[in-house]
Chains A and B, each alone.
Chain A
Amino acid sequence: MYNERDVGIYGEVKRQCVNMKGDIMTNPVVKVEDFHKVYGNFIAVDGISFEVHSGEIFGLLGPNGAGKTSTLESLEGLRSPDSGIVQIMGIDPTRESRKIRNIIGVQLQSSGLPGSMRVDEAMKFFSAYHRVAPRYDLLERIGLAEKMSTQYQMLSTGQQRRLTLALAIAHNPPVVFLDEPTAGLDVHSRVELHCLMDELRAAGTTIILATHDMAEAEKMADRIAILLSGKIVASGTPRELTVTGAQCTKITVSTERSSLLNTRLQLPGVIEQVSKEEYIVYYSNDINLTVPAIISYLVDQGDSLVDLRVERPSLEERFLEITKAGGAI
């Protein structure tokens, strides 16, 4: 299912969508304004606002109980907001539920299909309700061609998730909601699904991605909102989110003669240093000062670099930082 050729397509698609963004990402496709959702005494969503534009992948992150599901379900028309505006392409999902069905495609986290429903039957069944021709080609595209006659209950978790994704996009909706799309998938299926998401984005489809997988959000999302206790505590591009944190950049160095090991250098910008076997790891708050200083030291010592890696803090680290601080950042 996954091969070198797919990686090529992936790269090409990525470039296309970067070009597209400047042209089409102007009008909000999804609009959420001062949205509140309360269950009894529990405030699930406390006045959040965000917009998502055409052809954008928008990541919705947050720990369990942060308000992600309430937000998604209100956008999908499964719940009614208590106050505020929730719109998709100008349509209120709860008031115009029939209209919204053909505009959105939803892959639910716990997707329910009748256990005895076969793969081809599922495609025919939902396509009929969306009044479109069944997209059997999509099933082939996601590697389910040989499973057409297999009942849903006999599919593996990964195959079930791929099927529900195919069903979510079969009617070509301009907005797609993906709730934990890669949960339970093997590596190849994940890559394939990410390629498919990229293709959708390139085609101008807007994707709302709710995930606990920070690496996935960082890789796939154009913008991210982190929800905590019903509020958006951070938002922006993955890069914007990671650089605004207090985390330091990690510089990992290995040299020919190990001259950096077992020495406590006063390098500029370095806050902490740790030795790990033949590597030394510096945590720096200014890599522009630290990296040249390391190289200069090595030249002075007559040593040379074997490996030098500079890693900015990951989204996961930033996420943990935000959620540990209770959003007070």
Chain B
Amino acid sequence: MNAFLNHMSFEFRTGLRDKSLLLMNYLFPLIFYFVVGPIMAKLNPSFKDTMIPSMVVFAILSSMVLSLPNPLVAARESGIFRSFRINGVPASSILFIPALTAVLHMVVVATIITVTAHLFFNSPLPTDWFSFVLAFFLMSFASAGIGVLIGIISSNSRITILWSQAIFLPSMMIGGLMIPASMLPSGLQKVGMLLPSTYALSIFRGFAENGGISPIWSIVILSAGTLLSFLLSGYLFNWNNINVSRRKNPILAVLAFLPYILGFALLS
């Protein structure tokens, strides 16, 4: 337990100490929120109503999907995994602790967004705090699972960026972040159901609005996605510093999207 807490404390401090992590955990999402949030609200006044969940989900995606995989790849490539292995650091710690600390950073960012959006941009506070907090944690862990999985299967940093962007950009465009799903063509709405952000936003909004995907199904799908992505990360984890040999088939990572594919097939 001491080792776990010590590791977690180190990882949390790394998130503040490492300039690229600090940028992706705090600066990028907060600057984006402070700059783009008011512009979006001016272009579309109804955006104010969804500014808090949208910007929180954006921050989560930035931290978990864009930022989380790269340190894992870099650590493996520089032999840190091997160094950890010979010193008894379990694979589970390597997988979970960065995800947990990233969630903690997101608690700070989400709090800043929620408070300032209400104070400065008159965005309404969540009417159902329970569903808000639940949606935040489900989305955080579901995205962290995907981020960790990308870090585990990527053979190098360049591939990592491609995989991360393949999740991040569609989430921005058709995942309900910038444009409400109801305003999208029905075909794109359906495709959006392959993305975790769509389900998270349905929980953020659903308990209050009772529209779109059932929040209960969203909870089930995000929970299953989280579980599958972490289980697959553990299964596909490779201690070796070259991630092309001595590893299991990375195509298995697609299974982590099975709950979202089922959601797409059955709920749309």
* Consensus secondary structure, chain B interface: helix
Q: Determine if B173 is an interface residue (Cβ-Cβ < 8 Å).
A: no
* Chain A residue contacts of B18, Cβ below 8 A: 115-116
Among A110-129, those with CB < 8 Å from B are: 110-117, 121, 124-126, 128-129
Stretch of A9-17, A42-50, A99-107, A258-266 at the chain-chain interface: A99-107
Knowing A98-B88, A114-B14, say if A124 contacts B83 (CB, 8 Å): no
Interface string of B86-100 (1 = CB under 8 A from A): 111100000000000
Is B204 among interface residues, defined by CB-CB distance under 8 A?
A: no
Q: Which residues in B have their C-beta under 8 angstroms from that of A112?
A: 75, 78-83, 241
Identify the interface centre among B7, B10, B75, B80: most chain A CB within 10 Å of its CB.
B10
Q: Contact at A108–B79, with CB atoms within 8 Å? A: yes
Cβ contact of A131, chosen from B3, B7, B13, B85, cutoff 8 A: B3
A residues in contact with B85, CB < 8 Å: 78
* A129-B3 in contact (CB<8A): yes
Q: Which residues of A contact B230 (CB under 8 A)?
A: none
**Is A106 within 8 A of B86, CB to CB?**
yes
Q: For A117, list chain B residues within 8 Å (CB).
A: 10, 14
The smallest C-beta distance from B263 to any residue of chain A, in angstroms, reads 37
Does chain A have a CB within 8 A of B6? yes
B1-43, CB < 8 A from A: 2-3, 6-7, 10, 13-14, 17-18
- On chain A, the residues within 8 Å of B79 by CB distance are 108, 110-112
Question: Does any Cβ of B come within 8 Å of A92's Cβ?
Answer: no
Known: A116-B18, A125-B6, A128-B3. A78 touches B88 (CB 8 A): no
- Per-position binary interface string of chain A over residues 247-276, scored 1 when its CB falls under 8 Å from any chain B CB and 0 otherwise: 000000000000000000000000000000
**Could you tell me if B75 and A78 are in contact, using CB atoms closer than 8 angstroms?**
no
Q: A209 contacts which chain B residues (CB < 8 A)?
A: none
Instruction: Report the separation of the CA atoms of residues A77 and B86 in the bound assembly, to the nearest whole angstrom.
Output: 8
CA distance A164 to B83 in the complex (A): 9
In whole angstroms, how far apart are the Cα atoms of A117 and B83 in the complex? 13
In the complex, the answer to whether A125 meets B88 with C-beta atoms within 8 Å is: no
How many residues on A have C-beta within 8 angstroms of the other chain's C-beta atoms? 28
Q: Cβ of A108: which chain B residues have Cβ within 8 Å of it?
A: 79, 82-83, 86
Is the Cβ of B83 less than 8 Å from the Cβ of A111? yes
In the assembled complex, the Cα of A311 lies from the Cα of B176 at a distance in Å of: 80
- Residue A192 at the chain B interface, CB threshold 8 Å: no
Contacts of A54-102 to chain B: CB distance below 8 A = 76-78, 98, 101-102
8 A Cβ contacts from B248-268 to A: none
B136: Cβ under 8 A from any A Cβ: no
Structural contact, B83 and A125, CB atoms closer than 8 A? no
The answer, among A102, A104, A116, for a CB contact under 8 Å with B14, is A116
The residue among B75, B83, B241 with the most chain A CB atoms within 10 A of its own CB is B83
Given contacts A112-B75, A117-B10, A125-B7, contact A76 B86 (CB under 8 A): yes
Minimal beta-carbon separation of A127 from chain B (angstroms): 9
- Is there contact, CB below 8 Å, between B80 and A104? no
**Nearest-CB distance from B80 to chain A (Å)?**
4
Q: State A124–B6 Cα separation when bound (angstroms).
A: 8
In the assembled complex, the Cα of A151 lies from the Cα of B2 at a distance in Å of 22
For residue B199, CB closer than 8 A to chain A, the reply is no
C-alpha spacing A124/B7, complex, angstroms: 9
CB distance from B23 to the nearest CB of A (A): 14
Q: In the assembly, what is the distance between CA of A229 and CA of B144, in Å?
A: 45
Give per-residue flags for B62-92: 1 if the beta carbon is below 8 A from chain A beta carbons, else 0. 0000000000000100111111011111000
Query: What are the residues of chain B within 8 A of A207 when measuring CB–CB?
Result: none
Q: Is A167 an interface residue (CB 8 A)?
A: yes
Name 10 A/B residue pairs within 8 A (Cβ), A-sorted. A78-B86, A112-B78, A112-B83, A112-B241, A114-B10, A125-B10, A126-B87, A128-B6, A129-B3, A129-B87
Kindly list 5 other residue pairs between chains A and B, CB separation below 8 angstroms, not including A77-B86, A116-B18, A130-B87. A98-B88, A115-B18, A128-B6, A129-B88, A164-B83
> CB within 8 Å of A: which residues of B?
2-3, 6-7, 10, 13-14, 17-18, 75, 78-83, 85-89, 239, 241
Give me the 5 closest cross-chain CB pairs, A-B, nearest first: A112-B79, A112-B80, A101-B88, A128-B3, A106-B86
